[in-house]
Structure 1
């Protein structure tokens, strides 16, 4: 068994204005960092509308498709942009997440990492935001539940920004557990500990600006890991944002590369105990290119070690 890497060159076709932090170079740096690894490399397919409608109404999908410009870039809001290749890139992101779930649940791969862009965890049911168009992680979870018949799926989001979109899309889904650690206060302003989901299926771990390794590890050891053990997921999905790194320009947490390694290792251990090691990880944020590459490499290294 091995770790699968799902990506596609079309994800480089999502172009943002010069100086935008969610840039093509992000994916280039991640893929370059992963080149030396022995991975099962799978091309990300294009998700169809029936995949997207697991989380978004058709009217929203049509609106996003219609917003794509014929040339140049257009803004959906102050942060979220589209270029002519953005819709196809976003469909590849969803397609990668779904294909990764299929690969892991079928035994084709022990676990998987999806290196795609744009990210997805801020996209709400009918609102694109935070660089995101579609809710990749939530769609992957719903696919695992409804297509594969799993009983419980957990999503852990360690991006520095709260995964408001995933929370919105899974809020009413009792078969899921959504856990998110994030800097607070910070955009988008959600993620309070009091936000618990319609079925007590949400756990938020707000971290104060400047929080370091000790604070993060304590939050996961004392709160997140016990909830995962109690939930007993059949599959673990990770929203792997690397912008909690101390070098990231968009936030003020102080994680080191080693913290991403530790967190991945511990989550994989829980997955080994609870669901046969079945983990699907999706790239979210990370905007210092060198820190992103180093943290993503450490993350995937631990996935590979866990899958042996």
Structure 2
């Protein structure tokens, strides 16, 4: 058996499996066995590649330098520049490298139209609060801006004068991504997050308005868009209030409910940018 043949064939087979598992990882399919195969075969590929380079070192020198003058060839410079561009682009998350890097994951997780070269998520979670409360049924659609990663949201009702009536949605927990993470979306997808208990001080607008600081949703605010089924003891005319906080920015959204004029209300904020759409329908 020829050693060179074994090395070449091993590299070819390892590359085949690396390419397959690499595509699975790119599209966000990350079961443990795929990751294990990719890592272990990566080590095999690297080991045999070292032997391959060693065996072909004379040829590589010919590709890189002129024999007589000893000058570096243009081909080597072109290859070096291409590799440097990819290293810098990927390392500093420069466009279009950042968009390309996460396109597969975003596509697999579900998306519709694109914004800024990235697929926007259009998936919705369905949650319920105030299930055992008597009162009017409210169905809310909350669609956040694609740039909002780990929002904290509190929703409540108030009378026309702004006096608190009841809570619609108050999460018991919050999700935090380390400030040192360059890509918070990727950290969230990988589960590199920390869950903390919600405290009223996190939502100062809601805290100053509410007379009931008890939470009514056992988890954190969904990181995806969501449908909310809930109930309120408010009358036929009241205000829906929603405070949204993300990445140090806070916005207050309001909608005036008057069932004599209609049962569908849009919540809006002055120069609001965290929420794309917040629509309530009363049953």
TM-score (norm 2): 0.24
Q: Higher Cα Rg: structure 1 or 2?
A: 2
Flag the structure with higher strand content: 2
Flag the structure with higher helix content: 1
